[in-house]
Amino acid sequence: MNNLHILITGGASGIGLGVAETLGKKGARITISDISQENLEKGQAYLASVGIEARIEAADMSRVDDINAMVERLSDAPVDVVLNNAGLQYVAPLEEFPEDRWKLLIDVMLVGPAMLSRALMPSMRERGYGRIINLGSIHSLVASPYKSAYVAAKHGLIGFAKTVALETGDVDITANTICPSYVKTPLVEQQIAAQAKANNISEDEVIETIMLAPMPKKSFIDIEEIAETVAFLSSPAAKNITGQAITLDGGWTAR
């Protein structure tokens, strides 16, 4: 990864931590950011155990002042690639969806990525290189019931990246959204339990009849597949891939 500096939000867990490990092994300089300092320290210790020295930066992605303060702290090590990955889920029918949860999901997964990208772009522009990569979802492209805030935020990321692509045509900055279907992480383990409750079925039935049913490949996506996609999008070879949704969905949207 040519010593590129990548900032990964939501990097203390799941996909973010896995991408940090793969890209660190490929020679990227890694900063993981997350809401909990304690979890960041655990993530940093894990990465150290596999030979990766990572910087940690606590920031709440729903707070623009936190985001700006983090970018200010990172001015000694300009960011080449940002992976807007922090996320959370809340599952409820719209009529029962608490307003504060709906707003939080949009803040963390749409407003936060936009404000973080906004804060990083001047330095990317100055240095003539930048990669803005959003961790979207299959739910950037299709909907599932009871996930209105998540689906709205993830759809929004595609429009956001398309717009940034138009605004950065004059410089080697790209903006893209990776759209995986289900990956076995703590986020999905929680959803399996929540969907089981909402639909009154067992967790195995959720996996078989809801999660993997629309995927011809019938398997969860590996974090490694996402990490390799991030690595490619970060590379100079991907300079003309911009404003795109890169879909890793086991054929879900081929139907």
Q: Which residues are catalytic?
A: 150
137 binds ligand NAD (CB under 6 A): yes
Closest CA to 142 of 3, 251, 7, 236: 251
User: Tokens 């139907």 label which residue?
Assistant: 255
Per CB under 6 A, the list member of 90, 102, 129, 182 interacting with ligand NAD is 182
44 binds ligand NAD (CB under 6 A): no
Question: CA-CA distance, 198 to 93, in Å (whole number)?
Answer: 9
Per CB under 6 A, the list member of 4, 71, 74, 86 interacting with ligand NAD is 86
Pick 58 or 121: Cβ nearer ligand NAD: 58
Question: CA-CA distance, 155 to 151, in Å (whole number)?
Answer: 6
Q: Which stretch binds ligand NAD (CB under 6 A): 10-18, 68-76, 91-99, 119-127?
A: 10-18
20 binds ligand NAD (CB under 6 A): no
Per CB under 6 A, the list member of 56, 82, 87, 247 interacting with ligand NAD is 87
Pick 30 or 61: Cβ nearer ligand NAD: 61
183 binds ligand NAD (CB under 6 A): yes
Which amino acid is residue 147, in one-letter code?
A: K
Question: CA-CA distance, 152 to 107, in Å (whole number)?
Answer: 11
252 binds ligand NAD (CB under 6 A): no
User: Tokens 């009154």 label which residue?
Assistant: 200
Mutual angle of helices 112-127 and 64-73, in 10-degree steps:
30
Per CB under 6 A, the list member of 21, 57, 60, 249 interacting with ligand NAD is 60
Q: Which stretch binds ligand NAD (CB under 6 A): 49-57, 155-163, 184-192, 228-236?
A: 184-192
Burial 48-66, CB ≥16 within 10 A → b, else e: eeeebebbbbbbbbbbbeb
Judge contact between 239 and 174, C-beta under 8 A.
Answer: yes
Helix (H) or strand (E) holding 203: helix 203-205
- Shortest CB 3 distance to ligand NAD, Å: 25
Closest CA to 79 of 88, 67, 87, 61: 67
Pick 129 or 131: Cβ nearer ligand NAD: 131
Q: Which residues bind ligand NAD (CB under 6 A)?
A: 9-10, 12-16, 34-36, 60-62, 85-88, 108-109, 135, 137, 180, 182-183, 185-188
